[in-house]
Structure 1
């Protein structure tokens, strides 16, 4: 939660000092790294949610709408949405249910696989996500870091995510003929 006034001391730096003072030297830097990432995520999520609030969208709802809007036809199997968003199927089901209720997405049987669902972006959903993206891009345009810092941070986090099995090493595609 953001404060009106910044704290006089960085609580994560103080936690690291305490970790060291209590003899946990070998895990002090890791603790401060993990908690720094978690706190930064909270700060950024707060900024994102404030930008999306006028549209009555959570980031989860926005991501799903934006993913459908990026697709060729504004539609995608629900299983593909789950895989691409990297969230639990129950979370996607809940989000889809709310988007359908609000008339932003339609859920239909998949034409080739009767057991699967196809998600379709409605015109109302497309309009909303386009308007929300304009406001959210204001947040993305100013993440309070310089360009080289952002590039370095993204590369560092990508190495971590890949090491954790989040994605595979990209396969080089052949040059077009």
Structure 2
């Protein structure tokens, strides 16, 4: 996609001004925060998707491959993948179907639970996810477009929002050694 010419005015700042002008001043900051996060997500996802395109991967497919590559044996139950990726089971099933079709993962019966399935990374899948990770690290993650301080602050703020929304629990403190 061709790089667009930047707008002369920040449309989110203008929307915030309009919100206040139309009598919604109490919601204007929240609207601009939500809209800013959504626009930032579009920008980041665009960079990630452009980087993954040569590998034939979407971000969802990449995430599943990377999750499998992080496991000791390169496999996990579908239910575990669904829980860790925090997406609808149908989305994971569709992603697995595409990865199976492309020879990057296998769907295998669970050895202890006849109703469950395992997803296993193939050698081709491992090769693709490692190359894609190298590209993402180089082209996106090493320079996300923020300073290191801003990156740390942003992650901390968004993690607090996610935690407060019930996305995860703070780890309990470990007991002091005896």
TM range (shorter): over 0.9
**In 2, Cα distance between equivalents of 1:100 and 1:67:** 15
Give the equivalent residue in structure 2 for 1:157. Answer: 158
**In 1, Cα distance between equivalents of 2:162 and 2:65:** 24
Q: State TM-score, norm by structure 2.
A: 0.96
The answer to whether the 8 Å contact 1:105/1:120 transfers is yes
Deviations 1:60-97 (A, max 9, x none): 00000000000011000000000000000000000000
Q: CA deviation at 1:172?
A: 2.9
Number of residue pairs matched? 177
In the TM superposition, what are the counterparts of 1:1-177 in structure 2 within 5 Å?
3-138=3-138, 139-173=140-174
**In 2, Cα distance between equivalents of 1:169 and 1:60:** 26
**In 1, Cα distance between equivalents of 2:132 and 2:176:** 36
Structure 1 residues 15 and 3: CA distance shift in structure 2, 3 A: farther
Q: Note the aligned Cα RMSD (angstroms).
A: 1.5
Q: CA deviation at 1:102?
A: 0.5
Q: State TM-score, norm by structure 1.
A: 0.96
Q: Which runs of 5+ in 1 are unaligned?
A: none
The answer to whether the 8 Å contact 1:2/1:43 transfers is no
**Secondary structure at 1:4's aligned position in 2?**
coil
The answer to whether the 8 Å contact 1:65/1:126 transfers is yes
Q: Which runs of 5+ in 2 are unaligned?
A: none
Deviations 1:112-169 (A, max 9, x none): 1110000100000000000010101120011111111111110000010000000011
Structure 1 residues 175 and 122: CA distance shift in structure 2, 3 A: farther
